[in-house]
Amino acid sequence: MEKAGHPSSKLRTFLGYGSGDFALNLFWQGTGFYLFYFFTNVLGLSGSVVGTIFLGASLWDAVSDPVMGYIADRTKSRLGPYRPYILFGCIPLSASFVLMFTPVEIDSETHLILYASAALLLFRTAYTIVSIPYSALGARVTRDFDGRTRLAGIRMYFGFLGGVFVSITAKTLQAKYDDATAFSMMGIIAGVVAVVVLVACAFLSRESANPINRHNPPSNGAANLVAIFKNRPFLLIVGGISLVTIATNTVGQTLLYYFESHIGDRTSGNTAIIIMSGAPLVTIPFWSALTLKIGKKMAWILGSLIGAIGLGTLYMAAIHSLTAAYLGVTITVVGLSAYAVIFWSVLPDTIEYGYHMSGHKSESLLIGIASSFQKVSIGVSAYIAGHLLDFTGYLPEAAISQETADGIRDIFTLIPMAALLTSGVLMLFYPITAKSHAALIADLKGRAE
């Protein structure tokens, strides 16, 4: 166990660290819910083109995320290895988000595609520079098995508050302005708020006094990669969260299309986005408490089952029932919110498992690799969803046939349902428990001392 600090100081650190995810989710949720729609319905690009742009950006992330982790692990500063990137990277990140949601008038489709691609690549690079060190910092804020569940709960609560903020902002602006103006204003508001919050996060976050946090010269990259492939729990978690990301991203990117085609009202789709952003404010404390009681592995599996039930409800809600659709969205987000707590609680455990087994310490690199798999999953799901959306015959502002509506329903429900259930099956083989983690932490602490 790590040395306990004063309770008020520890809470302040947990809250200070968690606040950073409020800012990051202004960007993450804003991009996940609105960018695909902005590119198709404001810039006028086809779904397949947008899906390809998203895939290209994700392949870039597959390289840049581990590279950023490698760099952060080797950074020395008065603020530690990770906090400088949060402090100095927040303004470029916010500026890139604003640029990405800035409507442009470009006659050439080729030039428009190049513009959208460049804006997304710039944003994803800036996001990587801030988010990878931020996530790695969480492993140092506390080394305690259950403490991480509490920290992840606080972090995710702030994260979903950010999602609620950006979704309410978008809905309010869309009710008053055309889409081009509304999304542009949303980007500016989110960018300004995020800068203030991330600066506060950088100064309020503190690493724990655990001796494992002491700086060691990182191992060479080849040795780290070999150790990763021997880290079975890490590989299971990466596989599981990649499938969850496919599910979550598919739901987020096609939700507005689903409500437009089956309910006939895009406003109800915006309300559903607010439900998806806001419901976790109730479910995050529930999942935090339940995870402490039944364990991280069982909570993950239960989340998979609940999410699949919600998607099944949405599949049946194709009878144009708004109440059933809202119910399905609510059940789905109850299941999906489990991963928000559990993934960021369990990922540091797998990193320490690898450190214990191999002797190679590379926190930020492994965070970067896990993130790269998530980002590739986002790109793959966007690519598939975009091409399938075109295949259904969907066209902006055109009447939607029953065949097109059924195709959108299948994309929105069946693909994520299969991904969630497969993720649950993977977690059946996850080996780390509270008892085994306590033993390896004690051993690592003994080596450090």
Q: Which has more pLDDT, 239 or 405?
A: 239
Rounded to whole angstroms, the Cα distance separating 114 from 116 reads: 6
**Banded model confidence at residue 213, pLDDT cuts 50, 70, 90:** low
Q: Which has more pLDDT, 272 or 117?
A: 117
> Quick one: pLDDT at residue 4?
45
> Quick one: pLDDT at residue 418?
95
- Spatial CA neighbour of 196 closest among 170, 174, 165: 165
Contact (CB, 8 A) for 122 and 239: no
Contact (CB, 8 A) for 25 and 278: no
Tokens at residue 310, please?
């919600």
Angle at 408 between CA 406 and CA 412, to 5 degrees: 115
Reported as a single tens digit per residue, the pLDDT across 284-307 is: 889 989 998 999 999 999 999 999
pTM, rounded to two decimals: 0.74
> Quick one: pLDDT at residue 26?
94
Reported as a single tens digit per residue, the pLDDT across 152-188 is: 888 888 988 998 899 899 989 988 999 899 999 999 9
The rounded radius of gyration (Å) of the Cα atoms in the chain is 21
Burial 47-57 (b: 16+ CB within 10 A, else e): bbbbbbbbbbb
